[in-house]
Amino acid sequence: MVDDSWIVALVVAGYLLLMIWVGAASARRSQTIESFFLAGRNLSPAVLTATLTATILGASSTLGMAGLGFREGLTGAWWLLSGALGLLVLSIFFAEKVRSAGCYTLPELLGERYDPRVRYGASALILISWVGIISAQIVASGKLLGVLFGPGQEVFMVVSALVFVGYTALGGQRSIVKTDAVQISILLLGLLVVAWRAFHLAGPDEILAAGGSFPTSQARGGIDVMVLVLVVGSTYIAGPDIYSRLFSAKDPKAARASAFAAALLLIPIAFIITGLGISARILFPGIGPEEALPVLISETLSPLGEGLLAAALLSALISSADTTLLTATSILSLDLFRRARPESSERTMMIVSRGGTVLIGGVALLSALRLPEIIGALLSAYTVFAGGLIVPLVAGFWRERLRLTSGGALAALLGGGGTAILFGAEMPLLGMMVSAALLFSVSWLSPQSRRLIRG
């Protein structure tokens, strides 16, 4: 650590303590299920846009995507651009439908479209995928603090996990929403400051030359771009964390407007963060790719600026982790426990919800201690989720017109998700293809569908 590193440590520690205080303060207003998971369903478009953007700008969109820029140049921006395309599709075609459903969780929405078996299958698949995504955020937090403060990445991972699991268990959605607007403002301002310094040091001409071609390059060809758009983009069209935000909107129009605004914000951010990765390769070629952003922060800013941006970047990682954690908890509590114990009181459900938050956070931390890299872990989780869930969910909005059955949806969930688990690393689109084939073939061959045709 440098001589002034105590300033950085003080700012980061102050931020972490502030998050715990926010969670404790929000706990008093989070005594009902609707308040804990959906903040009372009264989020305005401005607040919703801020919290949605903060949720998206997590490990993959900061440390991971800067690492992609470091490795392959401008085509690394496709990670976040894929998300922007997915959000645009969500905004135009589905956001108002999602909010109008009045559900708490994505599996509940699927259960209403089909039947309880599909709800249970979706719950299991999302929990498996989302533990991996939470784990990746914890790994990213450890990498960030490890670069800033030296060895001890595992210790930093444990500390970060304890903080966001703690305040999420206390305050739920209210504690998350309260911090997101401030976090995203500080993060965007900090990224602009680092970009100005880094681009000046590396040189615009050198950055453009090192960035390579776009939209495709030698590192990422057209097929690779298409796979990324379909796999990553689809998780924005039907992601349970994104849906938890839309369910919290005050009305369907607010849900649509916030998704559209967040999509537009992601486009310039994608190129700025990728450019930072390219700059780091020029200035510090010996570092690891996913260390690009933390090294730029530590080498281009004053200790106070480094501490502020480190806290903001840590908040970006935590703001994604807490939303993902709360989403997984809502599925465990509402789609599994309450369905099994429908007579449970509100007080019992709150105890189960807070306990479930701690349980899922603990499992994710144990998984994080074994993960090698951020982007690889996230892509694996996204592939499993997309393989089983995307096709039956999107097609379910036109279930009657397409003559889809609950049996077909369940086969698509299990077959597509299982295929993605087994073969997703080598063939990331195979799960979605199997899911589509099973959804339509099982539906159309069922007696129920044949009766509809005859009718």
**Is 434's pLDDT higher than 90?**
yes
In this prediction, residue 26 has a pLDDT band, given cuts at 50, 70 and 90, of: low
What's the pLDDT at 31? Answer: 64
Query: Taking residues 361-390, what's their average pLDDT?
Result: 81
Lowest average pLDDT, out of 40-44, 118-122, 371-375, goes to 371-375
If we measure between CA atoms, which residue out of 241, 231, 235 comes closest to residue 420? 231
What's the pLDDT at 441? Answer: 94
In this prediction, residue 361 has a pLDDT band, given cuts at 50, 70 and 90, of: very high
Number of domains present in the structure of the chain: 1
User: What is the rounded CA–CA span in Å between residue 258 and residue 249?
Assistant: 9
List, for residues 84-100, the tens digit of each pLDDT value: 999 999 999 999 999 99
CB neighbour list of residue 29: distance below 8 Å, 6 or more residues apart: 35, 171, 174
What's the pLDDT at 452? Answer: 47
Lowest average pLDDT, out of 18-32, 105-119, 152-166, 361-375, goes to 18-32
List, for residues 397-422, the tens digit of each pLDDT value: 999 899 999 999 999 999 999 999 88
User: What is the rounded CA–CA span in Å between residue 408 and residue 446?
Assistant: 8
**Is 167's pLDDT higher than 90?**
no
Query: Are 447 and 405 spatial neighbours (Cβ–Cβ below 8 Å)?
Result: no
What's the pLDDT at 439? Answer: 95
What's the pLDDT at 3? Answer: 53
Query: Taking residues 218-241, what's their average pLDDT?
Result: 89
**Is 454's pLDDT higher than 50?**
no
In this prediction, residue 143 has a pLDDT band, given cuts at 50, 70 and 90, of: confident
Query: Taking residues 205-209, what's their average pLDDT?
Result: 92
The helix or strand, by DSSP H or E, that contains position 265, with its residue range, turns out to be helix 252-283
Query: Taking residues 422-446, what's their average pLDDT?
Result: 91
**Is 51's pLDDT higher than 60?**
yes
Residue 249, phi then psi, degrees to nearest 5? -65, 155
What's the pLDDT at 69? Answer: 94
Counting DSSP H helices and E strands in the chain, the numbers are 22, 0
What's the pLDDT at 38? Answer: 81
Peptide bond into 215 cis (omega under 30): yes
Lowest average pLDDT, out of 288-292, 302-306, 345-349, 402-406, goes to 302-306
Query: Taking residues 282-288, what's their average pLDDT?
Result: 92
**How far apart, in Å, are the Cα atoms of 120 and each of 101, 179, 233, 340, 392?**
18, 32, 24, 11, 14
What's the pLDDT at 285? Answer: 93
Query: Taking residues 255-263, what's their average pLDDT?
Result: 96
Query: Are 378 and 59 spatial neighbours (Cβ–Cβ below 8 Å)?
Result: yes
In this prediction, residue 45 has a pLDDT band, given cuts at 50, 70 and 90, of: very high
What's the pLDDT at 147? Answer: 74
What's the pLDDT at 426? Answer: 85
Give residue 420's identity as a one-letter amino acid code. A
User: What is the rounded CA–CA span in Å between residue 404 and residue 183?
Assistant: 43
Query: Taking residues 158-173, what's their average pLDDT?
Result: 81
Which residues form the domain of 82? 5-454
Lowest average pLDDT, out of 132-141, 228-237, 317-326, 370-379, goes to 370-379
CA angle 82, 88, 90 (to 5 degrees): 105
If we measure between CA atoms, which residue out of 269, 266, 110 comes closest to residue 258? 266
Query: Taking residues 180-186, what's their average pLDDT?
Result: 76
In this prediction, residue 39 has a pLDDT band, given cuts at 50, 70 and 90, of: confident
User: What is the rounded CA–CA span in Å between residue 270 and residue 146?
Assistant: 24
State the CATH number of the domain containing residue 211: 1.20.1730.10
Greatest alpha-carbon span in the chain:
80
Query: Taking residues 320-334, what's their average pLDDT?
Result: 88
Residue 251, phi then psi, degrees to nearest 5? -160, 170
- Give 293 or 374, the one with higher predicted confidence: 293
Would you tell me how many other CB atoms lie within 10 Å of the CB of residue 31?
A: 12
Q: pLDDT above 70 covers what percent of the chain? A: 92
In this prediction, residue 146 has a pLDDT band, given cuts at 50, 70 and 90, of: confident
pTM over 0.85: no
**Is 279's pLDDT higher than 90?**
yes
Query: Are 346 and 218 spatial neighbours (Cβ–Cβ below 8 Å)?
Result: no
**Is 453's pLDDT higher than 50?**
no
* Mean of per-residue pLDDT scores for the chain: 86
In this prediction, residue 144 has a pLDDT band, given cuts at 50, 70 and 90, of: confident
In this prediction, residue 23 has a pLDDT band, given cuts at 50, 70 and 90, of: low
User: What is the rounded CA–CA span in Å between residue 438 and residue 130?
Assistant: 24
